[in-house]
Each structure stands twice: as C-alpha cells, then as structure tokens.
Amino acid sequence: MMLSVVDYTAENAALEFVTSLHETGFGVLKNHPIQKELLESIYKNWAGFFASDEKFDYQFNVETQDGFFPITVSETAKGNSLKDIKEYFHYYPWGQVPAELKQELADYYQQANTLAATLLDWVEKHSPADVSAKFSIALSEMIAQSERTLLRILHYPPITGDEELGAIRAAAHGDINLLTILPAANASGLQVQLKDGTWYDVPGDFGCLIVNIGDMLQEASGGYYPSTIHRVINPEGQDKTKSRISLPLFLHPNADVVLSERYTADEYLQERLRELGVK
Ligand SMILES: O=C(O)CCC(=O)C(=O)O
Ligand SMILES: [Fe+2]
C-alpha cells in the first residue's frame, strides 16, 4: 500500500495526493494551510466540554442531527452489533453549539472547507477522462455553500474495563460523504484496511491532515476512488487512561446534487442514516 505523507507545498503534490487517494482511499498531507494553534485550542476546549455536564443541555435533534450524541446512543457501524466507545457533537453553522465555542469552530469549518475545495479540484484535474466525465458538476461545486457539511467533534473516553466485550472506539466503517478531512488526532489508533484484509496504522504526526474518500465519491466515480474501510482501535497499557479527541469534517454535497444514475446526494444519505440506526 502506498500511503505516504505528501507535502502540500511540493510541486507535484496534487498528482501524488490523488494517486494515493485512488490507490488507497486515503491521502496524508503535511505543510497544509490549516492553523495548528486553532486545532490545539479546539482540542483543549472540547476536552473541557465533554468533561462537563453542560453537554447534556445540547442533546442532539433527531430531525436535524445537530448537537450532542451521548455514548449511550452512539453509532453502531453498518453490519455491527456493538456500539462504538465514543461520544460526539455535530456542529453545523446553523445548528446548536455553546456560544463560547462557536467562533473557533466556525473558523476551522471555513478553513477546512476552503482546503477541501482545493483538494477536490486536484482530484478532478488528475482523474482519468472517463472518470471525470461521470461527475454531474465539478466536485468542488457539489459542496459549495452546502449546509450539510458536518463537523464532528469526537471524544473517545478512557477505557475502564466495563465496556462491552469486543467493542472498540470506532468499529470498521466507510464514511458516507464525498470526502473527509481529518486532522491527526491527539492520540493514535486510526487504522485502514488493506485489500488483503489486514489493518494498517494511518501515518500522521500531530499536524498532519488525513483525507479519505467517502462512499458518495466512490459512487460518483464509479469506484475509481475507493471508500476504504477504517476503524479506531482501543489503546493498550498506560494509554488506556487517556481520552482521544478527533475532528473529522465530512464534506457533504448539496441535497439535490446528482451523484450517479442511481442516487442524488439526499437519497443516498437518508438510506445510510437509516442503516446506522441514528435516524
Ligand atoms: O477518530 C478518528 O480518527 C476517525 C473517526 C472516523 O473515522 C469517523 O468518525 O468517521
Ligand atoms: Fe470514518
């Protein structure tokens, strides 16, 4: 598997990055334009949020899917029976969020969206002609001003030993959306599944950005870009006592964007949410 770290500022960055996405479903970037200080501040402030009971005032809205998802209702990955060991908050610019935490999330959301548009332009530019011909509109247009793009702040609590047998932080899954932008978390654990079924640690020190293809781009590209299965495993030894925070941005097309002959973005999403058991 060729999953090397691509220097965003290098001359051949776009081609290398898109090659990695095609071959592995993942790409890792260093020297990208998202501010590290902003990420550090978000991680710190949200560790505080998850540690306080204030979170229960932001219970998620079933219809609109914004707000806090406690560990008791956390997702069950498609095809899995155990719940993940995680709690999370869904931020949308129009959704609920504690006032004192809003500005930096809005800043991050904006920076990451801008970067995502550039990366989608890279994908478009370096796709074979028969693949780009399938896209109903430019990929970066699909997500432009989309109200559906979701920033998830994830908190994986320390492992206590009381977890359900076999449960892990995030069971093997593919992402539903077009593309996911994920700053390297404050702890390891993210793995991708190779074609032979074995698991491989995603490289990336703090400061790297991990990007992966979601099911919607796999669908739209006729499978040329694979939505690779990934998971987050539990820590061992000393690290059990540490929680883990991560911050994936799930780029979602506008609802009426045509993904393929079979689906619009909205039809695809509704089908997947039902399968996840959160809707
Ligand atoms: O926490 C991580 O590193 C990955 C989370 C993830 O894959 C997801 O929420 O879809
Ligand atoms: Fe994921």
Checking if the pLDDT of 21 tops 70, the result is yes
Enumerate the domain spans of the chain: 24-276
pLDDT, position 74? 65
Binding-site residues, ligand 1, Cβ < 6 A: 152, 154, 170, 175, 182, 185, 190, 230, 232, 246, 248
pLDDT, position 2? 66
pLDDT, position 186? 82
pLDDT digits (tens, 9 = 90+) for 78-109: 666 788 999 999 999 999 999 999 999 999 99
Which ligand is located closest to the Cα atom of residue 84? Answer: 1
Contacts of 105 (CB under 8 A, 6+ apart): 42, 91, 97, 151, 153
pLDDT digits (tens, 9 = 90+) for 217-231: 999 999 999 999 999
Task: Name which of 150-154, 192-196, 264-268 the model is least confident about.
Answer: 192-196
Site to substitute for ligand 1 among 169, 182, 186, most atoms within 8 A of C-beta: 182
Report the separation in Å between the CA atom of 97 and the middle of ligand 2, taken as the mean of its atom positions: 22
Give the DSSP letter string of the chain: ---PEEETTSTTHHHHHHHHHHHHSEEEEES-SS-HHHHHHHHHHHHHHHHSGGGGGGB--TTT--EEE-TTT----TT--SPPS-EEEEE-TTS---HHHHHHHHHHHHHHHHHHHHHHHHHHHTS-HHHHTT-SS-HHHHTTT-S--EEEEEEEPPP-S-SPTT--SEEEE--SSSEEEEE--SS--EEEE-TTS-EEEPP--BTBEEEEE-HHHHHHTTTSS----EEEPPP-GGGGG--EEE--EEE---TT-B-SSS-BHHHHHHHHHHHHT--
The domain over range 24-276 is classified in CATH as 3.10.250.10? no
pLDDT digits (tens, 9 = 90+) for 106-149: 999 999 999 999 999 999 999 999 999 999 999 999 999 999 99
Quote the ipTM score: 0.99
More confident residue, 75 or 188: 188
Which pTM does this prediction carry?
A: 0.95
